[in-house]
Amino acid sequence: MALLENRTAVITGGAQGIGLAIARRYVEEGARVVIGDLDEEAAKKAAAELGTDRALGVRCNVVDAGDVQALVDAAVETFGSLDVFVNNAGITRDATMRTMTEEDFDLVIQVHLKGTWNGTRLAAARMREQKSGSIVNISSLSGKVGMIGQTNYSAAKAGIVGMTKAAAKEMAHHGVRVNAIQPGLIRSAMTEAMPQKAWDQKMAEIPMGRPGEPEEIASVALFYASDLSSYMSGTVAEVTGGRFM
Catalytic residues: 153
Rounded Cα distance, 23 and 29, in Å: 10
Question: Would you call 237 helix, strand, or coil by DSSP?
Answer: strand
Buried b (16+ CB within 10 A) or exposed e, 152-177: bbbbbbbbbbebbbebbeebeebebb
175: left (phi over 0), alpha (psi -120 to 50) or beta: left
Q: DSSP characters for 37-100?
A: ES-HHHHHHHHHHH-TTTEEEEE--TT-HHHHHHHHHHHHHHHS---EEEE-------B-TTT-
Rounded Cα distance, 34 and 12, in Å: 8
